[in-house]
Amino acid sequence: MHKKLLFSLSLLSLLSANAGFSAGPSLPMSSSVNKNIIFDGSTVADIAEIAAPSVVSLEISVKGKKAVSDIYDTVDFGGMKLYKGKPKIVSFETKAGDGSGFIISPDGYIVTNQHLLTLTLNNQKVRASKIEVILFDGKKYIAEIIGEDEDSDIAVLKIKAKNLKPIQWADSSKLRPGDFALTIGSSLGADHTVGFGIISAVSRRKPQAKVIEALTGDLEYIQTYAQINPGNSGGPLINLNGEVLGITSFIEIAPHSPGFAIPANYAKKIVSSIIADGRVKRPAVGIYLLPSSYVNNAYNNSETNDEALEGVYVKEIMEGGPSDKAGIKAGDMIVKVNGNKINNPLEFTHLIRSNPVNTNFAVELYRGKNKKSLNLISEYLQ
C-alpha cells in the first residue's frame, strides 16, 4: 500500500488556464463550513492531511473451490497430458475487491458500505470471507462485522485497535448546492487518493428496479462532483471543516458523471442502530409496489367510462408478512391509506415508516373492479 496522499484536485470551472487560488480574501462559504477559513492554495491539502488518518482502506477476500490435478497423477505421453484419477477439489481464498471506510471511535469502530461485504463474481453473489483494514500508517487488521443494513448500504466494522483518530460527523442538513467537498479513499485501488469538487445537489433519489417497499424509504442522496471512483465506496465525503458530510456510495456509469453519497444525518441513525442492535429495525409491511403508471392501463375501466385508477400497484408480497396477513394480494391497486390518497410507492413507504411499529392502517384497494377495505398492521421484518 502507498503511504503518500495522491492528490487529485479537480477544480472544475473554478480555475481558468492561468488562474489559481491565492492567499488573501476568503471566498464566500455556506453555513455548513467555518467562514473564518482563509481559502488559499494550501487549504484543501491541510484539510486532507488532517482527515486522512481517519480514513482506512479495505481489502475484501472471498473463499472458493476449484479442481486441481495432482502433479504426480499427470503423465506426459507424446506431448499430451494424461491424468490418472480424479482432480482434487481444493479450497482457496483470494482478494476480490477494494473499498474504503472511516473511523468513528478511538477503539476501532469503522463505517463503510454494505455492498462491499457481498460481491458479485461470475454473475453470482459471494459473501466476503475476510475484510482487511489498512490504516493510514500502513498497519493492518482483520475486521469483525458488527452489523449491516442492505437497505441503506451501510455497514459497521470493528478492529482490535486503540487510540485511533475518529472523524466527526457534519450536519448534512446545512449542505447547499455549490458547497465545496473532498473525498478521500482507495480510488481505483490507490489508497488515500484525494478528490475535490462541489456539491451539485442535495436530494437525489436512486432509481431502483425491484425493491420491496422501496426499502431506502426517504433516503435522498448527496450528488457531488468531488471525485468518486471504484474503490471510493464506503469512504467519507468531507466538508471544509474536515467533517463527514456523507458516505460515498455509488456513481453513474456515463463519463464525467457525478457521484452520490448517503447524507451524514441519515447515516448516523443507521450506524447508531447497528452498533446498538446489530441491525436496523424498521416498521414494514412486506410489500413490493409499483406506481400505477407502470401497469399499462391494467386498471383502466374503459368499459364503464371510468378513468384509470391512480395509486400503487401491488407487484409482490412477502409470504407470511403483514400484507399477506391482512389479505392484500399481488395485482391489487391500493388507492388510499387512512383515508388519504396514495400517489406513489415512496409516499406509502414514508407513511409506514413514520409511524411506530404495530400501527394499524386502514387500506382501501381495488381487486379488479371490486373495492375492498382492509386493516394492515406494521411489524419489524428481518
3-state SS, residue 347: helix
Nearest CA to 243 out of 319, 179, 317 is that of 179
Determine which one of 233, 249, 273, 292 is catalytic: 233
Q: Which amino acid is at 78?
A: G
Q: How far is 7 from 9, CA to CA, in rounded Å?
A: 6
* The 3-state secondary structure of 306-342, one letter per residue: CCCCCCEEEEEECCCCHHHHHCCCCCCEEEEECCEEC
Cα gap 100→97, rounded to integer Å: 11
151 is catalytic: no
DSSP letter (8 states) at residue 26? P
Task: Give the active site residue among 32, 54, 57, 115.
Answer: 115
Cell of 24: 488573501
**103 and 167 in contact (C-beta within 8 Å)?**
yes
Active site residue 153: yes
| Pairing of the two strands 360-367 and 370-377 | antiparallel
Selected catalytic residue, list 98, 149, 153, 179 = 153
Q: Which amino acid is at 15?
A: L
Positions annotated as catalytic residues are 115, 153, 233
